[in-house]
């Protein structure tokens, strides 16, 4: 039974997140239905990351097993043919070792958060950015962000409903870059807590707007208290943009 690795991009706006749900349509459900339509097989696909409702991906990774040994181009194109009504695209398909796990073998995940920092509201990108009208100092945000790098107890930036076994995580990258009217926040780690990136983004906004003084972001981290977190940034601005695996 061959195992396939798929690279997927999707607009998360119309979905209740990645994971299959009983009452709401998910990205996983849409892809599984397309696989069943072309292959006749009902199965569960396994993803590198379970994105929340409204969160997008330009590089989600999944693995799946099919009974028939299909050509990789056929797998990609056939799934895409049945996905045409959905804002989901299979970018590539490849055969991998039977023991490959999109989730367990991942060594780093990369996210980007986009803030549109201007007065006029967005028309074309309104489901892909957080629109903030007041001025933000991206350099201050970046400098404050560096205090969160490394291994810490991220309880302050962890959702109350997070199912992770503990709050310790190692944040490898947290860069804030202004690109014209947009501010991009890049976060990389082996794994993230539920709502961690969005919680950090909202707190960085507080630092960039001057509502938080220098050092207040680190103080919030050290407090290990969810009530010290800034406002959680909306899902629309967040995208999973990459997943790293060990070199073969």
Annotated active-site residue in 52, 65, 137, 244: 52
State the Cα torsion 154-159-162-164 to the nearest 10°.
-10
Q: Name the β-bridge partners of 243.
A: 109
Neighbours of 105 (CB within 10 A): 18
Whether 100 contacts 5, CB under 8 Å: yes
Closest to 55 (Cα-Cα) out of 109, 1, 135: 109
Alpha-carbon span 218 to 220, nearest angstrom: 5
State the Cα torsion 207-210-212-217 to the nearest 10°.
20
Helix (H/G/I), strand (E/B), else coil: 246: coil
Question: How many CA atoms are closer than 13 Å to the CA of 122, on its beta-carbon side?
Answer: 17
Alpha-carbon span 90 to 17, nearest angstrom: 17
Burial of 150 (0-12, 13-18, 19+ CB in 10 A): exposed
Helix (H/G/I), strand (E/B), else coil: 135: coil
The tokens for 213 are 């003084």
Instruction: Look up 225 and say whether it is catalytic.
Output: no
Whether 111 contacts 53, CB under 8 Å: no
Q: Which residues are catalytic?
A: 52
């Amino acid at each position: 039974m061959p195992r396939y690795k798929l690279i997927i991009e999707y607009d998360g706006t119309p979905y209740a997140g990645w994971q299959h749900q009983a009452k709401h349509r998910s990205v996983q459900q849409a892809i599984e239905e397309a696989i069943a339509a072309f292959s006749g097989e009902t199965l569960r696909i396994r993803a590198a990351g379970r994105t929340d409702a409204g969160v997008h991906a330009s590089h989600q990774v999944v693995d799946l097993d099919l009974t028939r040994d299909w050509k990789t181009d056929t797998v990609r194109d056939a799934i895409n043919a049945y996905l045409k009504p959905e804002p989901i695209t299979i970018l590539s398909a490849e055969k991998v070792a039977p023991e490959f796990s999109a989730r367990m073998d991942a060594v780093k995940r990369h996210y980007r958060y986009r803030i549109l920092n201007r007065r006029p509201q967005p028309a074309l990108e309104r489901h892909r950015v957080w629109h903030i009208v007041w001025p933000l100092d991206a350099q201050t945000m970046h400098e404050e962000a560096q205090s969160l790098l490394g291994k810490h107890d991220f309880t302050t930036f962890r959702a109350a409903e997070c199912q992770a076994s503990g709050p310790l995580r190692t944040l490898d990258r947290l860069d804030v870059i202004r690109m014209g009217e947009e501010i991009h926040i890049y976060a990389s780690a082996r794994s993230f807590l539920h709502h961690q990136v969005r919680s950090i983004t909202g707190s960085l906004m507080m630092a960039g707007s001057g509502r938080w003084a220098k050092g207040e972001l680190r103080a919030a981290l050290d407090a290990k208290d969810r009530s010290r977190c800034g406002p959680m940034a909306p899902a629309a601005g967040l995208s999973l943009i990459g997943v790293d695996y060990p070199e073969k």
